[in-house]
A = this chain, B = another copy of it.
Amino acid sequence: MTSSDKPENASDTAAAEPTSVAARDWATASADPQYRAAVVDLLGALAYGELAAFERLAEDAKLAPTLEDKAELAKMASAEFHHFERLRDRLAEIGEEPTRAMEPFVAAYDGFHKQTAPSDWLEGLVKAYVGDSIASDFYREVAARLDSDSRNLVLAVLDDTGHGGFAVEKVRAAIEADPRVGGRLALWARRLMGEALSQSQRVVADRDALSTMLVGGVADGFDLAEVGKMFSRITEAHTKRMAALGLAA
């Protein structure tokens, strides 16, 4: 395979060449139908994740004790919506129907949010912060394994996350004011992480193309052990963040 531009649907190329996927652009890398399907899955999963996050953050903004707090959560929600737009537009650009790409992931995200509806403002803040951080970690892990065009998109969306920082200060202040709050929120954060992992496993089990990419069938350097390591790194980063927040994770 050369690095020159190829029509997206070219199928006369050898997919499993040793050339790094990360060194190819989309036109070249997507000639492999399995890689293409995996990226469509990935973009669909990320896109619906952002739309669902928009909806839940907007919902959780109702729990805000002040107008300023409400505006902060609304700002995160709006940022998630713009991520959704970029991912959806990219799906359309590569000739995929965005709705069809998102649909396989609706049940997992909706299940996650249904299981983790915050019962008060602090739980909402912890969820916003944890969700935002885990999403960033995951985007960063995955980006490195993608063709250059897909990577640039994922990094651009990633670059615009990190709105969760405002939550840290509020949560820390609440724990200082009443240390028992810390125990309750630590349990809550653990439940969030557990639910996120269990929904991720469900997705990995259901989606062949995506899983194959993650375990190294198509993209670079991901075997089953590597996926395990990725989950460990994400969990470790979560634990550190919780400790910084004053929560035992």
Chain A residues in contact with chain B, CB under 8 A? 48, 51, 54-55, 58-59, 61-62, 66-68, 70-71, 74-75, 77-78, 81-82, 84-85, 88, 98-99, 102-103, 106
**Residue in chain B with minimal CB distance to A88:** B71
**Residue in chain B with minimal CB distance to A54:** B74
A51 and B68 in contact, given A58-B58, A58-B59, A59-B58 (Cβ under 8 angstroms): no
| Distance in angstroms between the alpha carbons of A61 and B68 in the assembled complex | 23
**Residue in chain B with minimal CB distance to A103:** B67
> Can you pick out 30 interface pairs between chain A and chain B where the beta carbons lie within 8 Å of each other?
A48-B67, A51-B67, A54-B58, A54-B74, A54-B78, A55-B61, A55-B62, A55-B70, A55-B74, A58-B58, A58-B59, A58-B77, A67-B98, A67-B99, A67-B102, A67-B103, A67-B106, A68-B98, A68-B99, A71-B84, A71-B88, A74-B81, A74-B84, A75-B81, A75-B85, A77-B77, A77-B78, A77-B81, A78-B78, A78-B81
Of B54, B55, B71, which is within 8 A of A51 by CB? B71
Given contacts A51-B74, A68-B99, 10 further A-B contacts (CB under 8 A): A48-B67, A51-B67, A51-B71, A54-B74, A55-B58, A58-B77, A67-B99, A75-B85, A77-B78, A78-B81
